[in-house]
Amino acid sequence: MPMIDLNRLNRMADEYLTEWNEQYAKPLRNYWGQRTVLQLRYAMQMAACGMAREEDIAAALAAAWADFQNQGAITRETCGAVEHLLQPLAAAAKSITLLCIGHAHIDMNWMWSYDETVSVTLDTFRTMLDLMDEYPDYTFAQSQASVYEIVAKHDPAMLAEIIKRVHEGRWEVTASTWVEADRNMPNAESMARHFLYTRQYLAELLSIDPATLDLDYEPDTFGHHQNVPEILTDAGVKYYYHCRGSEGPLLYRWQAPSGRSVISYREPLWYNWTMDGRCAMIAPQFCKDYGLNVALRVYGVGDHGGGPTRRDLEKIIDMNSWPIFPRYKFGTYHEFYQAAEQIKAQLPVVSGELNFIFDGCYTTQTRIKRDNRLGENNLFEAEAVGAISSLVLKRPYPGADYKQAWKNILFNQFHDILPGSGTADTREYAMGLYQQAFALTNSRRTSALRAIADQIDSSPLTITEDISLSRSEGAGVGFPTASGGLSRYGRHAGLRRLFMVWNPLPCERTEVCELTIWDWQGDASRMQFQDSQGHVAPHQLITSGVHEYWGHLYHTVLVQVRVPATGYETLVLNELPAQELSAAGLGPRIIGEPDFTLENEYLTVAVSRQDGTLVSLTDKETGRNYADPHSPLSIFRLIEEDPQQGMTAWVVGPYKKIRSLHENIRFTGRQDGPVRKSLTWTAEFGNQSELTVTLALDRGERQLRLDVAVKWQEIGTAKTGVPQLNLLLPISYACPFFQYDIPMGAIKREPHHFDVPASSYALAANPSGRSLMLVSDSKYGFRGSEEGLSITLIRSSFDPDPWPEVGAHQIRLAIALTDSGREAGQIARAFCHPFSTVAMRKPQTGSLPMQQSLFRLIDGETCVSAIKLAEDGKGLTVRLYSMAEDTVRTTLRFWQKPQKAVLTDLMEKEAESDDPVQIIDNDVIFPVKPYGIQTVKIIF
């Protein structure tokens, strides 16, 4: 029985397939050689799958080899002879269809500015439309709502042509999201808005059924969290396409912890590919493995657009005529996924996250990452207070403004913008979009909060005061919005000042808030704060009124206050009567021992007077010290990464050198008051960089805050490496796993010696007591390993942006103790959503009491993702997700009794439920499935 000599086939393949550029130099010679070799190889793949016998191929290979040896090339005659010998295989070869889908991967602002992105989009689409005119069977697919918006804004005439092709079925819209976004760092609500706004926009723009947008096309996304299928399903998305993040099955059902799943296809080759015939080699095995007769081939020049070329289309037409090759067909993704639907029950099931790759992308370009987190948090708070104030006070809801702010945030979540793998132009455009988003969000949020404050009935607080010489109204305009916060400008006068403290979260909290007191003429030592019930609120003066801000002076005061869930409390500042000065404590009499201990009701923290590290962190309830006796608890480090792997924006290199930044510190500040105990130290390092750390322990908290200010002047190069600022927490107990928060929940991971993504915290699990956790307001790259728990704060990668981080950075961190993973999420949310304060005008009459909860979540197993006015403007939309293993009966309590409540999907369409929503007094009660997402619409 003749057998295949693979050496002969491989030698011919080397001649005709290895250097594809030869086809430009010797097109005629190479064409017949390529055609012959590719058909022989395809026949071999058929034989490997039982579709042909090797002995039927041996004679054809021998004939090709003989001519190759004798003539030095495979000629047209040789190809004809080989095809004749292989003719018995033709029917089986053509039983497989290769669906060829034209695609142009367009990166948003990756290595270029936005104006170039516009040009790339328009030029690419012009080419595609021209090719469609010439090739009547040619089909093309394009994702990303943002590129359609570009066409609508910059070439409306072209948009009309695209709409025509869309309705012909030749231009397939594969956009479920505003951009092909990162899937680890955006929160769950960001994903929800990608689907919601993309469907709304494209359905109207292109006059298509929004239900047809059921494919989430993410070819280049750098990883995918485990709850993606849950969110996709709730948004009506059935199919997922990706390339990175997995080495498992090519076609599978990706299942979320909730049990919901989507049909997913992992690109086996690449999404930027020329149509050269090699892709046919995977088709027989793929079809055998999955019981299909169709395979998928995505082709077209990409990244910088371009799309399929004329040569690609001619090759498809030509290869379809080869007798021993699959049937080549211009097709669509939906043809492929509809075939996959028929075998859905037989597909392998994959659960869990599809990670990891490109760990540098969790920390590179820290300003972009900070503003993404801040933008998401601000929008959550702005929409909530905007919707509630609209319903309570009958004021307009600025939904269009919030939507525009969201679109700015969503655009910047593109997988080369938020991950930081772009150039300086990329960053500059992103930062401009963030500034616009913050202006929209914070101005509307401020307006809503002031509207509530202006309706608080504070008339019982009225006093007679001479305010004719006041300078405080209008003082501090714009302060401190530069850091992303709300304006705290002065709206009142005199010694009595009123403030509304707003709690954006749906649970009651007792925490410390910060007030700015403008041009107050009283004695700061006699300040007193009281809540609406007349109870004295503990306070602490942080800065006195000698600080000047654009012609005005201010005090900064910390006040501990209890604020009801998604509601407010009124604080009153008065000046206490003067008291006779005591002689005690007027001056030092003996030498005092400097105290480097911070202590409150729950924790005692000892700080090394030599280097500022944490010598101990003791849980006063249990007496347990969480610092390792052989190593301090917190260590700021300057790390030098080895850059030899390249792609420094994407990849964290191996650690070459690690230097502690505690070697030569200076203590530069101390606070020892009734509300906050703090120590501040400063260290210089590197290229005149400076690190200032304030360790603060607030009253009533089981966490140590670290406010970090960095003047970063470190620059990475291929010669010197990549400098990195890092914080390490050595763990003093055996840690079986680390827990990280991810969109819509949390995940347990084993130790890794590379950075992994988390939304805001990482926890080192402690099986015998409270666990240590590290919380951040703006960082995503954590590392849990045998060394301990660390967080990458700043990295000076140098390609493609050589100077991504130079400048000033403000970072908020916390080291906390927690009893459970569930509590860890609560700690992190409170840390990222501090109280807001609004200066009130003089005492007034109003329709609202001085303290009130407007919305409350009565449930320990679900989290609120969004509170907004419904898309149709009728009622309130609340979105939640569950972290429980069982169905949870969730209760939402409102300021008044609702008239009606219904469950909806993410698109806010009413959903069927076997367990109807109940309304009892002011409560709305409904089920949330295990690990599921649930939206409810409430009408008042």
Instruction: Confirm if 847 and 457 have CB atoms less than 8 A apart.
Output: yes
Average pLDDT on 191-196 reads: 98
Rounded CA gap, 131 and 121, in Å? 16
Calculate mean pLDDT across residues 303-314.
94
Nearest to 230 by CA among 636, 743, 715, 851: 743
Tokens (6 digits) for 388: 């509630």
pLDDT at 856 over 90: yes
Query: What is residue 304's predicted lDDT score, i.e. its pLDDT?
Result: 93
Q: What's the pLDDT at 54? A: 87
Using the predicted structure, report yes or no on whether residue 842 has a pLDDT greater than 80: yes
Extract the tokens encoding 671.
């606070």
Q: How far apart are CA 314 and CA 131, in angstroms?
A: 11
**pLDDT tens column, 514-549:** 999 999 999 999 999 999 999 999 999 998 877 788
Tell me, what's the pLDDT at 477? 92
Mean pLDDT within 831-837: 97
The pLDDT value recorded for residue 178 is: 98
Cα 120 from chain centroid (whole Å): 26
* pLDDT at position 306 over 70: yes
Tokens of 519: 């041009």
pLDDT value for 295: 97
At residue 582 the predicted structure's pLDDT band, cuts being 50, 70 and 90, is low
- Written as six digits, the tokens of 907 are 């698109």
pLDDT in tens, 859-871: 778 999 999 999 9
What pLDDT is attached to residue 825?
94
Distances (CA, A) of 220 to 173, 334, 348, 797: 18, 20, 23, 21
When comparing pLDDT for 153 and 13, which is higher? 153
Q: Which tens digits make up the pLDDT trace of 361-418? A: 999 999 999 999 999 999 999 999 999 999 999 999 999 999 999 999 999 999 999 9
What distance in Å separates the CA atoms of residue 270 and residue 883, rounded to the nearest whole number?
36
Number of C-alpha atoms within 13 angstroms, CB side, residue 489? Answer: 17
pLDDT for the residue numbered 760: 98
Q: Is pLDDT at 460 greater than 80 in this prediction?
A: yes
Pairing, β 722-729 against β 703-712: unpaired
Are 39 and 83 spatial neighbours (Cβ–Cβ below 8 Å)? Answer: yes
Amino acid at 260: R
Among 370, 354, 458, 346, CA closest to 420 = 370
Min mean pLDDT across 4-13, 387-396, 773-782, 875-884 is at 4-13
Q: Tell whether the model's pLDDT for residue 118 goes beyond 70.
A: yes
Put residue 740 in one of left, alpha, beta given phi > 0 → left and psi -120 to 50 → alpha: beta
Q: Which of 68-72, 139-143, 665-669 has the lowest mean pLDDT?
A: 68-72
Residue 587 has pLDDT above 60, yes or no: yes
Residues 6+ apart with CB under 8 A from 18: none
When computed from its CA atoms, the radius of gyration of the chain, rounded to whole angstroms, is 32
pLDDT at 26: 46
What is the per-residue pLDDT for 10? 84
Per-residue pLDDT, 27:
46
pLDDT at 785 over 90: yes
Query: Do residues 245 and 355 touch, judged by C-beta distance below 8 A?
Result: yes
Is there a contact between 930 and 258 (Cβ–Cβ < 8 Å)? yes
Give the pLDDT confidence of 242-295 residue by residue, as tens digits: 999 888 999 999 999 999 999 999 999 888 888 888 889 999 999 999 999 999
pLDDT of residue 583: 54
What per-residue confidence (pLDDT) applies to 21? 41
User: How is 753-791 classified by DSSP, letter by letter?
Assistant: SS-EE-SSEEEE--TTSPEEEEEESS--EEEEETTEEEE
Q: Do the beta carbons of residue 392 and residue 878 sit within 8 Å?
A: no
- For the chain, how far is it from start to end, CA to CA, in angstroms? 83
Strands (E), 673-777: 676-685, 689-698, 703-712, 722-729, 738-742, 745-749, 756-757, 761-764, 771-776
Other beta carbons within 10 angstroms of residue 197's beta carbon come to 19
CA 666, CA 612: separation in Å to the nearest integer?
Answer: 9
pLDDT at position 22 is: 43
Question: What does the pLDDT average to over 661-666?
Answer: 94
**Phi and psi at residue 708, to the nearest 5°:** -115, 125
- How far is the C-alpha of 687 from the C-alpha of 914, rounded, in Å? 65
Bin 277: left if φ > 0, else alpha if -120 < ψ < 50, else beta: left
Distance (Å) of CA 844 to CA 454, 465, 849? 8, 15, 11
Q: Which of 58-67, 616-625, 714-723 is the least confident region?
A: 58-67
Residue 129 above 50 pLDDT? yes
pLDDT of residue 584: 55
Q: Name the pLDDT band for 223 (thresholds 50, 70, 90).
A: very high
* Residue-level pLDDT at 594: 74
Q: H or E stretch including 128? A: helix 114-134
Q: What's the pLDDT at 585? A: 54
- The three-class DSSP label of residue 599 is strand
307: region left, alpha or beta (phi > 0 left; psi from -120 to 50 alpha): left
The two structure tokens encoding residue 161? 């042509």
Quote the CA–CA distance of 834 and 831 in Å, as a whole number: 6
Determine which of 419-428, 474-483, 737-746, 844-853 has the lowest per-residue pLDDT on average: 474-483
Q: What is the structure's pLDDT at 11?
A: 83
pLDDT of residue 590: 72
pLDDT over 60 at 19, yes or no? no
pLDDT digits (tens, 9 = 90+) for 702-745: 999 999 999 999 999 999 999 999 999 999 999 999 999 999 99
| Mean pLDDT of the residues in the chain | 93
Residue 192 is encoded by which pair of tokens? 């929800």
Centre a 10 Å sphere on the Cβ of residue 545 and count the other Cβ atoms it contains: 18
Mean pLDDT confidence for 353-362: 94
Kindly state the average pLDDT of the residues 175-187: 97
pLDDT at 586: 58
Residue tagged 């997402």 (tokens): 933
* Rounded mean pLDDT, 504-519: 96
Band (pLDDT 50/70/90 cuts) for residue 29 is low
* Chain segment 886-898, per-residue pLDDT in tens: 999 999 999 999 9
What's the confidence (pLDDT) of residue 665?
96
- Per-residue pLDDT tens over the stretch 900-927: 999 999 999 999 888 889 999 999 999 9
- Which of 870, 874, 883, 885 is CA-nearest to residue 933? 883
Query: 466 pLDDT band (50/70/90 cuts)?
Result: confident
Percent of the chain residues topping a pLDDT of 70:
97
